[in-house]
Amino acid sequence: MRAKPGSRAEGVIVHSHHNGLKTAALLGLLTAMILAVGYWLGGSAGLVLAVVVSLAMNAGTYFFSDKIALRSMRARPVTEAEFPALYEIVRELATEARQPMPRLYVSPAMQPNAFATGRNPRHAAVAVTVGITQLLDRRELRGVIGHELSHVYNRDILISSVAAALAGIVTMVAQLAFFLPLGGSDDDDAPNPAVLLLMLILGPLAASIIQLAISRNREFQADASGAALTRDPLALASALQKIQYGAQRLPLPADGQLATSAHLMIANPLRAGGLASLFSTHPPMEERVRRLHELAASSTGPVQYVR
């Protein structure tokens, strides 16, 4: 679907094609991992069990990832009467992008933040915190909403879900090694400690690196796409600076489901530092702001929106 000529949607930078290829590549990697490692660990029985569990995990991730993310922030659906300005902004941008109106949620958190979730534009949800609605002016909030809608239109959420599924499968296979016999042991019924240790260390690490690479790129993409959709990159740049300051002043606890959903937020909601910082899924805020200022200065023509 091509955008109507002259509409703001014509200026949206959409990466859905490339993200579709990335998703297919991750799914291919996931399938290859199941076939190779599952058979290696337990022969035909291990392969069958790994495939069944992986299918269940993929289905759960695909269909229920939005509910998990919304629950982690205690976000609730809101009506237009409660947040008329938010509805007006989202409806305007969704209409210009010729996309369905997403469901809108608000989290009671006072930390300024926002995120989008859902497997595609027809099943999308945009959530903002009470803190961000109080901190940003209308123009800045519009920039943030453009960023979040771009995540949906670029199919970033689907990639993140597949990466999370890949991480879950690798961890599951490592745990499965406790119960399946491995070669190279004197006891045919006991797992090989060396192989088990390798799986426990390298498996989650590899999955984290995959998700890290995708997430950092997608934030830059969503910044550029959102700036093109709103035609106001400086508004998003100003919003990001305020959000970073607010998130650092009011960090959220890195526990439970919030830790696994933090990569969806427009800014890292967790306290900086520690081992978790090695796997941060957010690029430096200063770099994001710098790129947005460069976009504003370049004044390049719109990039056609093609689905």
DSSP labels for the chain?
-BPPTTSGGGG----HHHHHHHHHHHHHHHHHHHHHHHHHHHHHHHHHHHHHHHHHHHHHHHHHHHHHHHHHTT-EE--TTT-HHHHHHHHHHHHHTT-PPPEEEEE--SS--EEEE-SSGGG-EEEEEHHHHHHS-HHHHHHHHHHHHHHHHTTHHHHHHHHHHHHHHHHHHHHHTTTS--TT-SSTTS--HHHHHHHHHHHHHHHHHHHHHHHHHHHHHHHHHHHHHHT-HHHHHHHHHHHHHHHHHSPBP--HHHHHHGGGBSS--BPS-SGGGGG--S--HHHHHHHHHHHHHH-PPPPP-B-
Q: Is 148 a residue of the active site?
A: yes
| Residue among 148, 219, 286, 287 flagged as catalytic | 148
Q: Looking at the annotation, which residues are catalytic?
A: 148
